[in-house]
C-alpha cells in the first residue's frame, strides 16, 4: 500500500476504535492553517463519502501576529478548493487576556472554543474536531508531570471529550509533515511556536530533545504512560461509582450530600476522590483545588457537628447525618424578613404556601392533621398571624404546664442540622411561637370542645 493509503486506513482505524464519527455527522474543524490542521482537513475530505459527513471549517483570527492574515487566507483558500463551508471571525486574545487577567494562551483557547460552539449550534449531529497529534499528547503528559499532576491529569487529552474529537492523535508530527509534503498540501507555520516564551514551546524545543538524547523513544513512553493512566482510571472510576451509589443522598445544582456513616467508613484515599467528584460536579472542574485543599476537606471528620470548611465560595459542612457540599450564595431565605397574614388568607413564604381559614369544631375533629395545625382563639378582633425564620433567643411553650424551651435546644435535641435550621418557617400567633412548621406545634392555643373560633393554618411545600 502507498503511504497515503496507509495513512487513511490508520485514520479510519482511530475513528472507529474510539467511536469519533458517526454517519451523517457534521464535523466543525478548528482550522488554523497550520500543518496539523491542514492534515486533519484533508484526511476528513478523504473519508467524507465513506462516513457521509458534512465538513465545516472554522477559523478564529486572534489578531496576535502580524502574519495572522496569511493563516486566514490559507483557510479560506482550502475551504474554496475542497468546497467546504467556512466561517471566519476576528477576536483579540491579548485584549481578552488583559480584561480577564489570564494568560494570552488561555484566552485564545477560550475564544476559540466559544467560536467553534457558536457554529456547532447551527447544525444537527455536530462535533468539533481539533488537530492535536501524538507529539502534543506527549508534551501535555510531561507538562502535567512537571506541575505535579496525579493520575487523572496523566491521562492528558482524550480522543473524545463530550462534543470535542481528536482524530489525528495517533499521528506523529513527522508523519504529518511527510504526508503534507508528499501530497503537496500547503500549510502555514506559526512562528510563535518556535519561541520559548510559552511553557509548551520550551518543553517541545528544549526539554524533550535533551531527554531524547538519553531515551530516543521518550515521546512514545509519555504517550504509553497516558494510556496506562487511562486504563487505571477506568478501574478506579468504577470503584468510585459503586461507592457513590451507597453514600450519595442528595445531588442537585448547588448541593451534594453524603451519608455520614458511609462516608466516614471509607479510606482517606477514596474520600479524596469522592470529594474531587463533588467539587467537579459543583464547579464543572477542579482546576483551582489543590491536593492540600482536598486534604483540608478530609480533616472535617475530626470536627464537631455543624462545623464548616470553606474554600472560596464552596462550603463543606459536617452535620448529624450527612456531610454536605454547597455553594455559598445569597438565598431568598436569608433576605426574607417576615410576612403577616389575615384570616382566610393565602401567602407564599420562601418555598412554602400558607393558607389560613376559620373552621368548625366538627371539621377540626374529622379532618387530617397532616400539614395542618389548629388553634382555639378567644378573640378574633385583635389577632396577629406572622411567619418568619428563627432569630436568636426564640422559644416556645413545650409543656402543658407552660414550661418553655429554647428553639435552639429543640433543634439540637431533634438533631436538625444547622444548615436546615434557617430554612424552617416559624408561625407566630399574637407574638407567641405557635408552630415550628413541619416539626412541632406549641402547647399554646390548644383547641377545646366548646371553641367557636378555630383557626386552621395549612402549608404546602412548593
Domains of the chain: 3-226 (3.40.50.620), 253-327 (3.30.465), 338-461 (no CATH)
208, with CB counted inside 10 A (0-12, 13-18, 19+), is middle
Percent of the chain scored above 70 by pLDDT?
96
8-64 residue pLDDT tens: 999 999 999 999 999 999 999 999 999 999 999 999 999 999 999 999 999 999 887
Q: Given this model, what pLDDT does residue 293 score?
A: 86
Q: How confident is the model at residue 334 (pLDDT cuts 50, 70, 90)?
A: very low
Cα-Cα end-to-end distance for the chain: 68
- Is 331 a residue whose pLDDT tops 60? no
Q: How confident is the model at residue 193 (pLDDT cuts 50, 70, 90)?
A: low
State which of 126-130, 189-193, 351-355 shows the largest mean pLDDT: 126-130
Known binding positions for ATP? 32-37
The phi and psi torsions of 46 (rounded to 5 degrees) equal: -70, -30
Q: How far apart are CA 311 and CA 309, in angstroms?
A: 7
Residue scoring higher pLDDT (78 or 331):
78
The stretch 75-88 carries a mean pLDDT of 96
The stretch 211-232 carries a mean pLDDT of 96
Q: How far apart are CA 383 and CA 220, in angstroms?
A: 82
The stretch 175-180 carries a mean pLDDT of 96
Q: Is 33 left (phi over 0), alpha (psi -120 to 50) or beta?
A: left
Residue scoring higher pLDDT (174 or 313):
174
| Residue whose C-alpha is closest to residue 116's, from 169, 58, 158 | 58
Q: Given this model, what pLDDT does residue 197 score?
A: 56
**Is pTM beyond 0.75 here?**
no
Q: Given this model, what pLDDT does residue 333 score?
A: 42
Q: How confident is the model at residue 2 (pLDDT cuts 50, 70, 90)?
A: low
* Strand order across the beta sheet in which 338-341 lies: 338-341, 385-388, 426-429, 432-436, 440-441
Q: Given this model, what pLDDT does residue 423 score?
A: 86
Q: Given this model, what pLDDT does residue 329 score?
A: 56
Known binding positions? 32-37
| CB-based contact 314:304 (threshold 8 Å) | no
Q: How confident is the model at residue 195 (pLDDT cuts 50, 70, 90)?
A: low
- Is 1 a residue whose pLDDT tops 80? no
Q: Given this model, what pLDDT does residue 259 score?
A: 93
The stretch 203-232 carries a mean pLDDT of 95
- Residue whose entry in the numeric block shows the C-alpha cell 426574607: 336
Q: Could you tell me the three cell numbers for 308?
A: 464548616
The stretch 103-119 carries a mean pLDDT of 89
C-alpha distances out from residue 102 to 95, 109, 310, Å: 10, 11, 24
Q: Given this model, what pLDDT does residue 25 score?
A: 96
Amino acid at each position: 500500500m502507498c503511504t497515503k493509503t496507509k495513512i487513511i486506513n490508520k485514520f479510519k482505524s482511530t475513528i472507529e476504535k474510539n467511536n469519533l464519527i458517526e454517519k451523517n455527522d457534521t464535523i466543525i474543524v478548528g482550522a488554523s492553517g497550520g500543518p496539523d490542521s491542514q492534515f486533519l482537513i484533508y484526511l476528513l475530505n478523504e473519508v467524507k463519502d465513506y462516513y457521509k459527513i458534512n465538513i465545516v471549517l472554522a477559523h478564529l483570527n486572534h489578531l496576535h501576529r502580524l502574519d495572522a492574515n496569511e493563516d486566514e487566507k490559507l483557510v479560506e483558500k482550502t475551504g474554496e478548493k475542497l468546497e467546504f463551508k467556512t466561517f471566519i471571525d476576528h477576536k483579540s486574545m491579548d485584549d481578552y487576556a488583559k480584561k480577564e487577567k489570564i494568560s494570552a494562551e488561555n484566552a485564545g483557547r477560550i475564544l476559540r472554543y466559544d467560536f467553534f460552539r457558536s457554529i456547532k449550534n447551527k447544525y444537527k449531529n455536530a462535533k468539533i474536531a481539533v488537530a492535536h497529534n501524538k507529539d502534543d499528547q506527549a508534551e501535555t503528559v510531561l507538562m502535567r508531570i512537571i506541575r505535579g499532576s496525579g493520575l487523572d491529569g496523566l491521562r492528558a487529552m482524550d480522543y473524545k471529550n463530550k462534543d470535542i474529537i481528536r482524530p489525528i492523535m495517533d499521528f506523529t508530527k513527522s508523519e504529518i509533515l511527510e504526508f503534507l509534503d508528499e501530497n503537496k498540501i500547503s500549510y502555514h507555520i506559526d512562528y510563535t511556536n518556535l519561541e520559548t516564551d510559552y511553557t509548551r514551546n520550551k518543553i517541545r524545543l528544549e526539554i524533550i530533545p535533551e531527554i531524547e538524547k538519553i531515551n530516543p523513544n521518550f515521546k512514545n513512553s509519555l504517550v504509553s504512560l497516558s494510556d496506562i493512566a487511562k486504563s487505571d482510571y477506568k478501574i478506579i472510576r468504577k470503584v468510585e461509582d459503586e461507592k457513590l451509589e451507597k453514600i450519595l443522598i442528595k445531588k442537585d445544582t448547588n448541593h451534594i450530600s453524603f451519608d455520614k456513616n458511609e462516608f466516614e467508613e471509607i479510606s482517606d484515599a477514596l474520600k479524596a476522590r469522592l470529594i474531587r467528584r463533588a467539587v467537579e460536579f459543583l464547579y464543572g472542574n477542579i482546576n483551582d483545588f489543590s491536593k492540600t485543599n482536598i486534604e483540608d476537606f478530609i480533616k472535617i471528620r475530626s470536627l464537631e457537628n455543624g462545623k464548616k470548611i470553606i474554600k472560596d465560595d464552596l462550603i463543606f459542612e459536617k452535620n448529624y447525618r450527612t456531610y454536605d457540599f454547597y455553594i455559598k450564595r445569597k438565598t431568598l431565605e436569608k433576605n426574607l424578613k417576615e410576612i403577616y397574614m389575615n384570616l382566610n388568607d393565602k401567602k407564599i413564604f420562601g418555598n412554602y404556601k400558607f393558607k389560613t381559614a376559620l373552621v368548625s369544631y366538627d371539621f377540626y375533629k374529622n379532618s387530617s392533621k397532616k400539614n395542618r395545625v389548629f388553634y382555639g382563639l378567644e378573640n378574633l378582633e385583635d389577632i396577629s398571624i406572622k411567619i418568619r425564620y428563627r432569630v436568636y433567643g426564640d422559644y416556645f411553650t413545650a409543656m402543658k404546664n407552660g414550661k418553655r424551651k429554647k428553639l435552639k435546644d429543640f433543634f439540637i435535641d431533634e438533631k436538625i442540622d444547622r444548615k436546615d435550621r434557617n430554612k424552617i418557617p416559624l408561625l407566630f400567633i399574637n407574638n407567641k411561637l405557635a408552630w415550628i412548621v413541619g416539626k412541632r406545634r406549641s402547647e399554646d392555643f390548644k383547641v377545646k370542645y366548646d371553641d367557636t373560633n378555630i383557626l386552621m393554618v395549612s402549608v404546602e411545600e412548593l
